[in-house]
Amino acid sequence: MAKVVLSGYATVDFIARAIGPITPAGTNEIEVAHSGWPRGGGAPLYAGDVLARAGHDVSLICSLGDDASGDVYLEQVRHRKLQTETIEIIPSARTPACVLIHQASGDYCCFLDSGSPWDGPLTEKQFKAVERADWLVITAGPAKLTALMLEHARADQKVAWLVKADARSFPPNLAGKLKAMADFVFCNRHERDFLFASEHSVLCSAQTLFETDGARGVRVVRGAHSSFHQAKGVNTGDATGAGDTFAGGALSILIEESEALVTAARAGMAAATGLLEERASSGVIE
């Protein structure tokens, strides 16, 4: 069992499907997702869920407001058997929330409330969790939080970076530092330009890139070696969290055997497919 710390934003997600085109004025009819309203979201929760089910000790470093949405998120963290001691509850603050409306065209409309800003520092429990962790998994979150995580990282810790094309979370200097430090990098094909936009235009030969391409599959790159692995398509209109779930599945293998890249890719695809099949079978959004 490894000690894994995941940092990033915690959100509550309100997911629905639009019945017809979305218009900017007037009433838009929607169908609420059957999985609950709201449900816990954010990369740490999706990736951490898979890692916890694989038997690892998983702690989330994030912040919530002292509000009803924060209570919903905490309840779902406990349900997934993730550690809650490192989640900071900020009095009088708002928990981030995301309203995501899927459309029949495959497009979506997203409304994001970033919640109250986090200004640090790490709490004592958060610092101790980072200090004792075997793995640090960095996802989109406050840039200051990520910088503190990297500042306290040990040389013998493994670092994984779940890329998001968000310059607020990953300004150029921080993205460059992460790209230099990360043992494993996860992105999708739309995030390639962001990933390679900094001064570090390539990864070194010891680093591994997992690049997902939706239902088509995933490309795995280490040094001069590259392989592509076909995915199983699933008919669901709600792929929220699939990429983060893929990362959690892949990391569950890499934690045990860092050279098992093909097995890790397959485990990541299996985890993401399981998430999507569960939604499709329950009729969450078709």
- Looking at residue 108, its pLDDT comes to 83
**107 occurs within a structural domain:** no
For the stretch 215-256, pLDDT in tens is 899 999 999 899 999 988 777 778 889 999 999 999 999 999
- Looking at residue 201, its pLDDT comes to 58
Higher pLDDT, 34 or 93: 93
- Looking at residue 233, its pLDDT comes to 77
In DSSP terms, 65 is beta-bridged to 90
**260 occurs within a structural domain:** yes
In DSSP terms, 183 is beta-bridged to none
* Token pair recorded at residue 101: 């409306």
Cα angle, residue 48 at apex, residues 58 and 197 outer, rounded to 5° = 115
- Looking at residue 240, its pLDDT comes to 86
**209 occurs within a structural domain:** yes
- Looking at residue 35, its pLDDT comes to 66
Is it the case that residue 31 has pLDDT exceeding 50? yes
Question: What CATH number did the domain enclosing 226 receive?
Answer: 3.40.1190.20
**111 occurs within a structural domain:** no
- Looking at residue 283, its pLDDT comes to 57
**139 occurs within a structural domain:** yes
**3-state SS assignment for residue 61:** strand
- Looking at residue 286, its pLDDT comes to 46
Percentage of the residues of the chain whose pLDDT score is greater than 70 = 95
The residues, any chain, with a CB within 8 Å of residue 236's CB and separated by 6 or more, are: 276, 277, 279, 280, 284, 285, 286
* Token pair recorded at residue 52: 């916890």
Higher pLDDT, 7 or 110: 7
Confidence of residue 199 (pLDDT cuts 50, 70, 90): low
Question: Residues 76-114, buried b or exposed e (16+ Cβ, 10 A)?
Answer: bbeebebbeebbbebeebbbbbbbbbbeeeeebeeeeee
> Which residue type does 248 have?
G
Q: In angstroms, rounded to a whole number, what is the distance separating the alpha carbons of residues 9 and 55? A: 23
Q: Are 122 and 87 in contact (CB under 8 A)?
A: no
Number of domains into which the chain is organized: 1
Percentage of the residues of the chain whose pLDDT score is greater than 90 = 71
**3-state SS assignment for residue 121:** coil
The residue segments making up the domain with residue 195 are 3-9+42-93+118-281
- When mean pLDDT is compared across 156-160, 209-213, 277-281, the lowest value belongs to 277-281
**101 occurs within a structural domain:** no
Confidence of residue 23 (pLDDT cuts 50, 70, 90): confident
Q: How many CB atoms lie within 10 A of CB 227?
A: 12
pTM of the complete model: 0.92
Alpha helices, DSSP H, located in 25-163: 43-53, 68-79, 124-132, 143-151
**257 occurs within a structural domain:** yes
Q: In angstroms, rounded to a whole number, what is the distance separating the alpha carbons of residues 223 and 124? A: 39
**20 occurs within a structural domain:** no
